[in-house]
Amino acid sequence: MTALLSIRDLTVTYRRDGGEVAALKDISLDIAAGERLAVIGESGSGKSTLALAVAGLLPASARVDGKIDWPGLGHTPLGGRDIGFVFQDPSASLDPVMPVGKQIAEVAYTHLGLGWPQAYAKARTLLERVRLPDPDAALHAFPHQLSGGQKQRVAIAAAIAAGPKLLIADEATSALDTIVQAEIVALVRQLVAADGMTLLFISHDIALAAELAERIAVFRYGGLIEIGAARQIVSAPRHAYTSSLLDAHLGLDAEPLSLQAGTPT
């Protein structure tokens, strides 16, 4: 499979309080066209910085060394058209005073060269695709009238409106409850498969990543710890840090901590 994008020696430094903090150090990895790659890590691991760097959304104050090539695209990507981005907090990424239909239509209008009526028709289809109940009413709804899960569905609709090659979801489900999270993950999986999109799924939840992604990259302190097939990462991690993350996961079968042997504080 050809690589959609290839990251080589990527280092990102932020200036902070006079000093420099490296958020990503010497990252090299390829993302194949059509694959589902999950990037997992704890806070400060640099996983969100990676997402922003790929999407070209880093703040101007960040210094970027290394390069990101797009052999699978053949040209420099344009945010919104070639890359769809879904953020953690849909209330912050949606315009609170614009009907959601218009926010989606705007993407189609800007990137697909559609007229407004066609763009709105497209928005309606998208709202149907992300399975919002009553898409006609939703077109004219404002974000505050929707629930958290519905808002995230709208954000996804806007992200895929221009038919991007790459969909980036940065902790897109971590503000949602378990049931809504499962619905959104199922929706993302289905949309990615139907449109042949590549998925970059950023998460702190290793179990969720393993359910959705084919490959998992583990990040820590701005470095890539290991990358491999999801099954291999979960069943036969090569790195001790990955094992510790797996051990820290509390699944449904979690034994009561009080019964576990050796519980130092």
| 119 vs 184 by CB, closer to other proteins | 184
User: Which of 14, 64, 207, 223 is in the footprint of other proteins by CB under 8 A?
Assistant: 207
- Is 49 one of the binding residues for other proteins (CB under 8 A)? no
User: Which of 210, 217, 218, 227 is in the footprint of other proteins by CB under 8 A?
Assistant: 210
| DSSP letter (8 states) at residue 72 | T
Which tokens in the block code for residue 121? 């028709």
Which tokens in the block code for residue 40? 């997992």
Q: Name which of residues 63 to 82 contact other proteins (CB under 8 A).
A: none
Task: Give φ, ψ of 36 to 5 degrees.
Answer: -115, 110
User: Which of 1, 60, 97, 179 is in the footprint of other proteins by CB under 8 A?
Assistant: 179
User: Which of 93, 150, 152, 181 is in the footprint of other proteins by CB under 8 A?
Assistant: 181
User: Which of 128, 182, 214, 221 is in the footprint of other proteins by CB under 8 A?
Assistant: 182
Matching residue, tokens 């509390």:
250
Which tokens in the block code for residue 210? 């393993």
Please give the order of strands across the beta sheet that includes 3-16.
Answer: 19-32, 3-16, 63-69
Q: How far apart are the first and last CA of the chain?
A: 47
Euclidean distance between CA atoms 205 and 83, whole angstroms: 23
CB of 213 to other proteins, least distance (A): 12
Q: Choose one: 100-108, 117-125, 221-229, 233-241; the region binding other proteins (CB under 8 A).
A: 233-241
CB of 239 to other proteins, least distance (A): 14
CA diameter of the chain: 66
Asked if 217 and 38 touch (Cβ cutoff 8 Å), the reply is yes
Question: What residues line the site for other proteins (CB under 8 A)?
Answer: 42-43, 147-148, 176-183, 204-208, 210-211, 234-236, 244-246, 248-258, 263-265
